[in-house]
Amino acid sequence: MSAAPDFSLTGKRALVTGAGRGIGLAIAQAYAAAGAEVTLCARTAAEIEAAAAALRAEGLAAEALTLDVTDVTGFDAAMQARPAFDIFVNNAGTNRPKPLAEVTEEDHDAVMSLNLRAAIFCAKAVTGRMLAEGVPGSVINISSQMGHVGAANRTLYCASKWALEGFTKALAVELGPQGIRVNTICPTFIETPMTKPFFEDPAFTASVLSKIKLGRIGQVADITGAAVFLASGASALMTGSAVMLDGGWTAD
């Protein structure tokens, strides 16, 4: 009989950005529960320190790293000061939904700086340490269904996530020979502090639900299983791929 899949993260070191709330925090909690030593990274000190403390109170291994990931130099310095991570979740992101006619240069720079520029250079810093220490690992870029389709009022967001998908495939090709896997997770609309205001509009909520074939808004718990899978040995042959957690949005 073949061996059962290994979802354990015992002995692994994981870094999750944007981990103070929402999807990032849920993934950090899942990793810690699976046995990983987790570093939660975000720019708001009180929030990230409270999150790490809550995990430690449950007997889990967690530390806080207060850092703005758009500070490329600062992030790289933080990585150079630490041993290589085995798992990296590139989660920090933002959105400024509006028609293109209303998009400003400041909107563009804010979305692209965090969703794309920071994601690329954070991955560079983390995988650079993996390569330097000969550590095979897993990089998980949190993308979106909007990296595979288009939507009104989301030109900037779609542009950033389509680019992230291309970056992921290219990096997977580049780092595969060194045993570093690179994949994306592509959620549909997930109820988080960032998206909650959108769902206060009944028309918007109805429009979203009309496209989600499973008929409900996603929850952060819907993301964590895939995140553990991609971080673990259970996905050892998977790289350059996108895990669609979109409730069927992109199926038609």
Could you tell me how far CA 225 lies from the centroid of its own chain?
13
Residue 63 DSSP class: E
Residue 190 DSSP class: B
Q: What b/e string do you get for 156-195 counting C-beta neighbours within 10 Å, with b at 16 or more? A: bbbbbbbbbbebbbebbeebeeeebbbbbbbbbbbbbeee
Q: Which residues contact 134 (CB under 8 A, 6 or more apart)?
A: none
Q: Which of 75, 85, 88, 157 is catalytic?
A: 157
Strand partners, 17: 41
- Reported residue count of the chain is 252
How many CB atoms neighbour CB 57 within 10 A? 9
- Please state, in angstroms and rounded to a whole number, the distance separating the CA atoms of residues 252 and 232: 31
Clarify whether 31 is annotated catalytic.
Answer: no
3-state secondary structure (DSSP) of residue 86? coil
Is 93 within 8 Å of 184 (Cβ atoms)?
no
Catalytic residue set = 157
